């Protein structure tokens, strides 16, 4: 199968002429180096060289912002602006527009947006501080409950606000009761521990002194738990070993 793009064109291997006659005068001429020898001869220096591909050069035009070029010098303009391509059509210009140009061109809009955001955040912080400073209303444990028929029904918005405030107060009271209960349990455990220690001390005193002692120091755990310890009468704690 012939893969030649122009199979009808006949080229003479001696003089490289296209479609020659059979009786033409053949003078050797190389198509590679244009020397006076047949094509691809042993003496040909360009025998193994590949021909350079043919490429179309397309000029590239770049639009430059006049506001940016007004402040630049001649040297910067020469370095920044892309020149005409030298080889091939796949040439990319050396000058590329900076992505930050849009941000630099519009700094005032960003400043205005940031100021508005800062003002909103400041206002929210002030409102939060005012809500935090307001005292928590004290509500007694016994709340009077009225029938819905006797009390007039408030407006929907006021009713929602009242329900929210009542729920908040109930949760706060519940938290206070839980904390008080835990404190009471802690105190109760501490009193029981003190009562146990006092009982142990009384037992030690009974072992140290004989049964005929004038008085013994006793204390029950139930009395200490109720906060009313049983006080013994005054007694001498120094041991008596008899007359010296």
Same domain, 70 and 93: yes
> Is residue 178, in this structure, part of any structural domain at all?
no
CB-based contacts of 124-130 (< 8 A; 24+ apart in sequence): none
Say if 154 falls within a structural domain: no
Residue identified by tokens 């928590």 is 136
Inside any domain, residue 11 = yes
223, part of any domain: yes
DSSP 15: T
DSSP state of 18: B
- Asked if residue 214 and residue 198 are part of one domain, the reply reads yes
Domain hosting residue 68, numbered range: 54-97
Q: What is the pTM of this model?
A: 0.21
Identify whether 182 is part of a domain: no
Structural domains in the chain (count): 3
CA–CA separation, 200 and 218 (whole Å): 10
Evaluate whether residue 237 is within a structural domain.
no
**In this structure, are 6 and 42 located in the same domain?**
yes
Cα-Cα end-to-end distance for the chain:
145
Give the mean pLDDT per block of 10 residues along the chain (244 residues).
71 80 82 82 79 69 56 52 50 51 63 85 84 60 47 54 71 86 88 86 77 50 49 46 46
Q: Decide which of 38, 72, 97 is a domain's last residue.
A: 97
- 60 and 85, same domain (yes or no): yes
In a domain, 112, yes or no: no
Cα–Cα distance list, 192 to 7, 181, 202, 206, 219 (Å):
117, 17, 15, 21, 12
Is residue 83 located within the same domain as residue 63? Answer: yes
């Amino acid at each position: 199968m012939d893969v030649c793009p122009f199979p009808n064109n006949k080229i003479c291997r001696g003089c490289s002429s296209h479609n020659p006659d059979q009786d033409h005068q053949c003078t050797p001429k190389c198509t590679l180096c244009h020397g006076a020898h047949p094509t691809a001869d042993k003496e040909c220096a360009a025998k193994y060289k590949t021909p350079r591909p043919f490429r179309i050069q397309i000029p590239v035009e770049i639009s430059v912002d006049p506001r940016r070029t007004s402040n630049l010098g001649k040297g910067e303009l020469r370095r920044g602006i892309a020149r005409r391509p030298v080889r091939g059509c796949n040439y990319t210009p050396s000058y590329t527009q900076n992505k930050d140009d849009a941000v630099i061109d519009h700094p005032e809009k960003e400043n205005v947006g940031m100021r508005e955001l800062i003002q909103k955040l400041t206002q929210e912080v002030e409102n939060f501080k005012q809500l935090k400073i307001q005292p928590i209303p004290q509500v007694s444990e016994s709340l009077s409950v009225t029938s819905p028929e006797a009390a007039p029904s408030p407006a929907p918005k006021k009713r929602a606000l009242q329900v929210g405030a009542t729920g908040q107060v109930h949760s706060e009271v519940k938290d206070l009761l839980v904390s008080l209960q835990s404190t009471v349990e802690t105190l109760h455990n501490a009193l029981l521990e003190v009562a146990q220690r006092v009982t142990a001390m009384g037992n030690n005193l009974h072992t140290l002194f004989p049964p005929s002692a004038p008085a013994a120091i006793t204390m029950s755990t139930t009395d200490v738990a109720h906060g009313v310890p049983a006080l013994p009468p005054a007694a001498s704690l120094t041991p008596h070993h008899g007359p010296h």
